[in-house]
Structure 1
């Protein structure tokens, strides 16, 4: 009788542990992404929550997302960086400065900066011409000087 009780308890413990693992994996948002609020073609982890932070540069579209696990020093988490690439964005490594990363796709540029507990996305407002990189932090964003087109 006692051996049977131990087997039942052991079975229940294994079942509860496996259920917790399956539930955690199934509802992990590390594999769920949505288009960002400023460009539907740029992915944002579904777990990230848009926050209303005012930004006063009229030439820049800016959004801040709160997300646990984001650290300025570690930059973009690997799972997120992989997804950005899967969505067709390529990093412009020459534009990387500190926590600022710049990605380009189809003539558009998306800037991302990481901070502890949140990240920001920003780009120049569209004026019918392709987006250009925005240099510096979003608080001091200015257009990067562009060289004259070749003739």
Structure 2
């Protein structure tokens, strides 16, 4: 029996079928992995939103119309610019700008500035653990002043 020669050898057909099966398996695996990864991410995002709504929010800096009026009077041109409105917290955020030369402290975005109680100099409010320690020290100082009158 004489076999007729094929245009494509048998091993080449097996190779092509094998590659197709591997590509289909990879596609299915990535599709399943994508949905598995997306699910917990959405869960944690929703959990974060819920915690942000339930957790106590910091008090606003201005609590009355009189304080807002005092802020506007303190501004150079008698105007305060509204930066944004936070609907979830029902708050208005004002934007105050200053020339870099006017701010002597080495500030970064997100920093808060205050006046030093002892010297009256502008300083950066500590954050994180140093901030907690600083707040404790301020509380102790205010208690000393209240009880001992220093």
TM-score norm. by structure 2 comes to 0.30
Structure with larger Rg = 2
TM-score (norm 1): 0.30
Higher helix share goes to which structure? Answer: 2
